[in-house]
Structure 1
Amino acid sequence: MAKRPRIGVIGSTNMDLTTTVERMPAWGETVLAKHFETSFGGKGANQAVAAAKLGADVVMVTNLGDDALGESALRNFESLGIDSRHVRRIPNQSTGTATILVDEKSGDNAILIVAGANGDLSSADVEAASEALKGCDLILLQLEIQLETAYAAIRFARKNGVRTLLNPAPARRNLDMEVIRQASFLVPNESELAILTDMAVESEDEISAAAQSLVKQGAETVIVTLGARGSLLATPAGSQRIAPVKVQAVDTTGAGDAFIGSFARYLAGGLSLDAALVEATRYSAFSVTRHGAQKSFATEAEFAAFSASRQ
């Protein structure tokens, strides 16, 4: 029997506060919305849940507030079988929140983040989880936490021979590229790629050139997510496009996290890089056909049925 892939996630946990609108409001304008709901989110938590729903063993390293939202988030991890021994509750701190506006027609979204307890996640939390993380096949990181925490995690993983995937989101300037490029996989979207490289990314050729500039600086593998246009893989051997899966999108919230969590699960599970990217593309496409972030992520059985329907 094949070994279950083991994924470590060091990152954020939020409660998503989602409002669906017919159109986005302008500054100073009040718009009547169509729908409101709360759901579990945060880039770290989303990626962890996607991998867990697909059958990976997941170790979660995150901080929650000592509030009702934090209690709900912890119960959510536990219900999915995610190892929550290194989820820390921070006294007198709120759980992180994300206020999300979703365009009803296009499914596109805009997001505002309040870090809350995520801002307290530190290198000490990484060290406290070190034994669990050493046994992982891959560690996932994002930038909704302190930069120094992400840097410490990359250094820790490299020292201990564990592969890392860094999703540099939300986009930040003045990153320490000496550390960033030590990640085994760097997975930005177009806007994040532009900020990382200070290069134009308007055309396909420009996107490829920007991704290859990171490779030339020492990045091992760069994967640029392109939404409905698929993705681009850049390595020292060159660049190649991964074709999209055409679906009718209703909500793109969490699609990038679905891509990363599923990619991690399939790569750590033994698929080749190309095959894992194909599976991740299909999985993230399925996620945008349903509302929400984590609740839109398919289980193994649901994904198998969707994949069979696309043959």
Structure 2
Amino acid sequence: MSGAAETHPAKSARAGGGAALKVLTVGGAMIDTIAIIASSAIERMVLLNAEASFLLLEEGRKTEALEVSMHCGGGAINTAVAFARLGLDCAVIAKLGQDRRAEQILAALEGEGISPRWVSRVSSAPTGSSVLVSSHDRNAAVFTFRGANTLLTPQDLADSAFDVDLVYIANLSNEAVDCFPVLIEKAKRAAAKVAANPGIRQLHGRGGAFRAALPQLDILALNRREADEVVPLIDRGHPNGDAPLDFTGGVAAPALAERGFKYESLRMSVRSFCCALLAGGVGTVVLTDGRGGAFAATGNRLFYCPAHEAEVAGTAGAGDAFVATFAAYLAGGAGPDTALRAASVNAASVLGTVDTQTGLLKRTDLEARLGGNGSTPNVIGWTL
């Protein structure tokens, strides 16, 4: 991981194996209500040219569900649990209401050994909540009420919270996006590495702040839709950036290698997109595309890892699992190829459960799967 940060003795000791790496996650905290609907009970409409599909809910009709359950979720909480199960010493910055949802989230953090010291609560808004309707291929439609998540302010960001090795900034909601540059400034002042996974609304509404922050990001993670939104924000003039990627070794070329990224009339290949972000100062770029696998670029190397096979019970949280696992392994000294494999396996485990956290693996279990006789993703790479 790159980044110009001064040496901190305690952090050097942790990186050398003296203690668990410390991580701070920042972002959303939610209670997810998940409804599983039989495919025969709800219609789906697929728009092939628009690359979209829709679940059709009939107005005024009661639809029987196979199951309805409630779980903790949100980017900050999902990634905190992922980091904690991988053996990192984790704390969270998030905003909750004064309600039962908040108590459920705080109890879950306690159960995972995650510090709630920097979690603040307000009476002016309830804790965030989402409703997920999952059917057909289990890629849920999500209704989101952001609630107290929108009220995070720079005053909630205590300097001492940033005495960690890694600050992970998940999607920030509405006005909370204004905290993004403050979070990065405080992290860098404390000599912490920064990983960020910004959402589409942040990229669309605060593109200038995002572009200005690129040189300070040690890890930038984007899914395909988010990467599309970044295209107009970065320089697209990179010689050799459009040289095709040669897929060999039994790995099939993913759709993203052909599609690339696009915003209105603007187009960029995966290679040119990564080159632009690295030239802009980002240490490592991670690009995810669900079943299409993931790319990672750092230095002068680009890597691709296919998605690990999984029987999908629910897609929610798989992206959080992937990026948190990648960041944890990279922060711990692993190479990008190893980090990609570990991230793919952990994300596949999350896909096997309906909620965002039950499938997250402990490090011993993840290492066993990586080292077992079963097939793990075959990472291939190119020189940029």
The answer to whether 1:14 aligns with 2:30 is yes
Which residue of 2 is the match for residue 182 of structure 1?
Answer: 216
CA contact (8 A) 1:107 1:251 kept: yes
Which residue of 1 is the match for residue 122 of structure 2?
Answer: 90
Which residue of 2 is the match for residue 232 of structure 1?
Answer: 295
The answer to whether 1:247 aligns with 2:310 is yes
CA contact (8 A) 2:200 2:225 kept: no
| 1:192 counterpart letter in structure 2 | E
Q: CA deviation at 1:192?
A: 0.5
Which residue of 2 is the match for residue 191 of structure 1?
Answer: 225
| 2:141 counterpart letter in structure 1 | A
The structure with more radius of gyration: 2
SS at match of 1:262: helix
C-alpha spacing 1:180/1:119, structure 2 compared with 1 (3 Å): farther
CA contact (8 A) 1:12 1:44 kept: yes
Q: CA deviation at 1:170?
A: 4.5
Give, in whole Å, the separation in 1 of the partners of 2:279 and 2:58.
45
Q: CA deviation at 1:76?
A: 0.8
Percent identity, aligned pairs only?
25
Give, in whole Å, the separation in 1 of the partners of 2:345 and 2:256.
24
C-alpha spacing 1:270/1:297, structure 2 compared with 1 (3 Å): same
CA displacement, residues 79-113 of structure 1 (integer Å, 9 cap, x when unaligned):
1110111111112320011121222x312122222
C-alpha spacing 1:266/1:240, structure 2 compared with 1 (3 Å): closer
The answer to whether 1:140 aligns with 2:168 is yes
CA contact (8 A) 1:6 1:268 kept: no
CA contact (8 A) 2:296 2:336 kept: no
C-alpha spacing 1:115/1:65, structure 2 compared with 1 (3 Å): same
The answer to whether 1:73 aligns with 2:105 is yes
Give, in whole Å, the separation in 1 of the partners of 2:333 and 2:273.
29
The answer to whether 1:211 aligns with 2:274 is yes
Give, in whole Å, the separation in 2 of the partners of 1:26 and 1:106.
14
CA contact (8 A) 1:4 1:269 kept: no
Which of 87, 96, 99 is 1:55 aligned to? 87
CA contact (8 A) 1:286 1:306 kept: no
CA contact (8 A) 1:7 1:264 kept: no
The answer to whether 1:303 aligns with 2:366 is yes
TM-score by length of 2: 0.74
C-alpha spacing 1:309/1:98, structure 2 compared with 1 (3 Å): farther
CA displacement, residues 247-291 of structure 1 (integer Å, 9 cap, x when unaligned):
222211100111122223222223223322221111111211122
SS at match of 2:124: coil
C-alpha spacing 1:203/1:170, structure 2 compared with 1 (3 Å): closer
Which residue of 2 is the match for residue 101 of structure 1?
Answer: 133
Give, in whole Å, the separation in 2 of the partners of 1:26 and 1:167.
30
| 2:160 counterpart letter in structure 1 | E
CA contact (8 A) 2:97 2:126 kept: yes
The answer to whether 1:274 aligns with 2:337 is yes
Which of 173, 176, 182 is 1:152 aligned to? 182
**Aligned residue pairs: how many?**
307
SS at match of 2:191: coil
What are structure 1's unaligned runs of at least 5 residues? Answer: none
Give, in whole Å, the separation in 2 of the partners of 1:229 and 1:44.
25
Which residue of 2 is the match for residue 39 of structure 1?
Answer: 71
C-alpha spacing 1:55/1:235, structure 2 compared with 1 (3 Å): closer
Q: CA deviation at 1:9?
A: 0.6
Q: CA deviation at 1:45?
A: 0.6
Q: CA deviation at 1:57?
A: 0.5
| 2:188 counterpart letter in structure 1 | R
C-alpha spacing 1:269/1:305, structure 2 compared with 1 (3 Å): same
CA displacement, residues 12-55 of structure 1 (integer Å, 9 cap, x when unaligned):
11000111122453265454433211100001110001111121
| 2:354 counterpart letter in structure 1 | H
CA displacement, residues 186-245 of structure 1 (integer Å, 9 cap, x when unaligned):
10100000011149x974152413333333333332100121222111335143212321
Give, in whole Å, the separation in 1 of the partners of 2:333 and 2:278.
24
CA contact (8 A) 2:153 2:178 kept: yes
CA contact (8 A) 1:197 1:213 kept: no
